Structure 1
């Protein structure tokens, strides 16, 4: 009986250690930590086009929706829509911040056309480099 109790306690201990390690290294936790520390973090499953990605930058959480399409050589993500989870958190961000985010997304999806949803879309349109020529 005592041996069975010790075995159950050992299994419970192993399960708790496994759960703690799994929690500490889970990508969502890394995203939450980067969000709290106002760092950049890009959480994405590149193999699953139907799953949206999340990214955080300077304390603002963004979500992006990917759309699959054709390119001359393959099927790839050709369009991405991005929006902030809370528009009130955008306070203090400048044009260079959004350009940085676009560059980071292009590292994973180089052929994708990136579209921002409102109000960032209007902000980016007001700062279109083609207008300054």
Structure 2
């Protein structure tokens, strides 16, 4: 009977260790930590088109909606709409910050056309027109 309890305790310790490692390596936890520390983090499941990706940058959380379409060779993500979860936190972000986020998304989805939702869309259009 004592041997049985020792095996149960050992199994419980192994299970708790497994849960701790799983918690530490969880990308959602890393996203939340980066968001709190106002760092950049890109959370995505590239093999699942139905799941939106999340980007945290300078304490602002952005969500990107992926849309599947056809390219010359295959079905891929061809359109992405990005919007902030809380537009009030956009204060202090510049055109270069949004271009950085856009470039990071382009690295992962090179065939996608990226469209920002308002009010970022107006800022980007105004700056792009001034540079031309």
Q: Where on the TM-score scale, by shorter chain, does this alignment land: which range?
A: over 0.9
Partner of 1:51: 51
Distance 1:75 1:8 in 2: 50
CA displacement, residues 30-89 of structure 1 (integer Å, 9 cap, x when unaligned): 111111221111111111111100111111111100001111222111100011111111
Q: Distance in 2 between matches of 1:88 and 1:6?
A: 55
C-alpha distance in structure 2 between counterparts of 1:87 and 1:17, whole Å: 40
Q: How far did residue 120 of structure 1 move?
A: 1.1
Q: Structure 1, unaligned stretches of length 5 or more?
A: none
Aligned structure 1 segments of 4 or more residues deviating by more than 2 angstroms: 130-133
For 2:20 and 2:71, locate their aligned partners in 1 and report how far apart those are by CA, in whole Å. Answer: 43
Unaligned runs of 5+ in 2: none
Q: Which residue number corresponds to residue 84 of structure 1?
A: 84
Q: Which residue of structure 2 lines up, in the alignment, with residue 30 of structure 1?
A: 30
TM-score normalised per structure 2: 0.94
* 3-state SS of paired residue (1:54): strand
- Provide the C-alpha distance between the structure 1 equivalents of 2:67 and 2:21, rounded to a whole number of angstroms: 34
Q: How many angstroms apart in 1 are the aligned matches of 2:119 and 2:10? A: 55
